[in-house]
């Protein structure tokens, strides 16, 4: 790093290391915006609620970014996108849907007490969206930035996957605003996910009058479940887990049908392919029974190689800003970052809120970490805009950071 690029980044880091007199005001502004998003409840399966949330996200984002968002509706689900400039270079991605049904605020009200912010969806991941708005607002020039906020991540991004992948293919880097891992660790590796449904056909019969005529679908399902469990490989971290199970109709009827779901998590793409072939190769064991398998990979793995360079950059910037040291973690859960890494775009995940309790009653965000991580995100976006698309040196100086955001 030489010349004015080195000077600009040095000044950015020095300024970021000294939060300045506006830290409390910045923290209050972050909290106020998070409250607005959290109070607009957005369960994934309630399309009207998701649409209302998308409008709130667009409103808050427009105020900070100085630009109106695109609303993209696919299969009734509303996504929000900002694009700056003609040539996309850096993609920031998050989601505004949650697992919390409308009315959850009555049992889990929004509150901030003793430095901890609480409320349904605050950690996963509405705080991360607000951090993105504030981080980008700190830059004078957003040319090359795309910010995509989807509305169906929690159920597996059924309508937004193609949108996400198309955006990622155009960019040199993706930053995912999902919540941080334990202790604030960035997520540098995620397992891939596959989901399946196994349908078992038997033949119903009266358990007392003519049981010999029946083919017990519950027994067949049990045998298939045992075969499915054996597909896991602990040495490789591959888990194959039967989950929801249904069978039969009444207590005195041999089950004529059964079904169960299977959740698969893998670190390696080869394992995802192996398990997929094995599941679709299941055959019935009982005479007269039938087995049908549907489903497949939902998200590819996010390998450590996809995040290494970005994590190294973030760790260096965090040290220079005085908000480090940063740590990393590999996690079994998946995110939309799996999709962006899957199309070959370098991806760093877990850049959102520090806290815990995702999807649980104790969901929370540590308030003191919000401005620190937001400054880190600003610095990382600035550096990437300066280098994206150029292997060694940038084509111009990094975007200036507004003094009132330092």
The residue that leads in pLDDT, 292 or 13, is 292
- Asked whether the predicted pLDDT for residue 126 surpasses 50, the reply is yes
Is the four-CA dihedral 59, 61, 64, 69 of positive or negative sign? negative
pLDDT, the chain, mean: 92
Query: pTM of the full predicted structure?
Result: 0.87
Q: Where are the alpha helices (DSSP H) in 126-268?
A: 127-137, 161-169, 217-229
pLDDT band at residue 388 under the 50/70/90 scheme: confident
- Asked whether the predicted pLDDT for residue 23 surpasses 90, the reply is no
**DSSP of 258-285:** EEEEEEEEESSHHHHHHHHHHHHT----
Q: What pLDDT, in 10s, does the model give residues 211-233? A: 999 999 999 999 999 999 999 99
Give the helix/strand (H/E) hosting 4: helix 3-17
Q: Which two tokens stand for residue 276?
A: 């997929």
Give the helix/strand (H/E) hosting 71: strand 70-74
């Amino acid at each position: 790093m030489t010349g004015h690029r080195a000077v600009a980044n040095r000044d950015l880091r020095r300024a970021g290391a000294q939060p300045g007199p506006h830290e409390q005001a910045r923290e209050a502004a972050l909290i106020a915006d998070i409250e607005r998003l959290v109070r607009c409840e957005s369960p994934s399966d309630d399309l009207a609620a998701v649409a209302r949330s998308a409008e709130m996200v667009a409103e808050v984002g427009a105020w900070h970014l100085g630009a109106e968002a695109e609303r993209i509706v696919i299969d009734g689900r509303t996504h929000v996108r900002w694009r700056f400039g003609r040539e996309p270079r850096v993609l920031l991605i998050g989601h505004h849907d949650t697992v919390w049904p409308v009315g959850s605020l009555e049992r889990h009200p929004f509150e901030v007490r003793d430095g901890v912010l609480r409320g349904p969806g605050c950690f996963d991941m509405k705080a991360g969206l607000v951090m993105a708005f504030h981080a980008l607002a700190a830059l004078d020039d957003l040319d090359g930035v795309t910010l995509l906020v989807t509305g169906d991540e929690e159920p597996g991004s059924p309508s937004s996957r193609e949108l996400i992948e198309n955006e990622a293919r155009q960019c040199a880097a993706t930053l995912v605003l999902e919540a941080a891992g334990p202790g604030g660790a960035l997520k540098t590796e995620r397992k891939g996910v596959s989901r399946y449904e196994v349908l078992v056909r038997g033949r119903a019969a009266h358990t007392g009058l003519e049981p010999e005529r029946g083919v017990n679908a519950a027994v067949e399902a049990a045998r298939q479940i045992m075969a499915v469990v054996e597909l896991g490989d602990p040495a490789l971290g591959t888990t194959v887990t039967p989950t929801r199970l249904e069978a039969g109709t009444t207590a005195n009827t041999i089950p004529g049908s059964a079904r169960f779901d299977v959740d698969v998590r893998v670190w390696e793409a080869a394992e995802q392919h192996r398990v997929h072939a094995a599941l679709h190769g299941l055959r019935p064991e009982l005479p007269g029974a039938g087995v049908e398998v549907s489903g497949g990979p939902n998200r590819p793995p996010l390998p450590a190689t996809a995040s290494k360079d970005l994590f190294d950059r973030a760790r260096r910037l965090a040290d220079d800003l005085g908000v480090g040291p940063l740590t990393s973690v590999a996690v079994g859960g998946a995110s939309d970052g799996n999709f962006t890494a899957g199309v070959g775009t370098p991806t760093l995940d877990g850049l959102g809120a520090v806290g815990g309790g995702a999807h649980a009653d104790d969901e929370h965000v540590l308030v003191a970490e919000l401005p620190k991580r937001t400054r880190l995100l600003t610095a990382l976006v600035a550096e990437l805009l300066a280098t994206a698309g150029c292997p060694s040196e940038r084509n111009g100086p990094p975007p200036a950071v507004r003094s009132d955001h330092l």
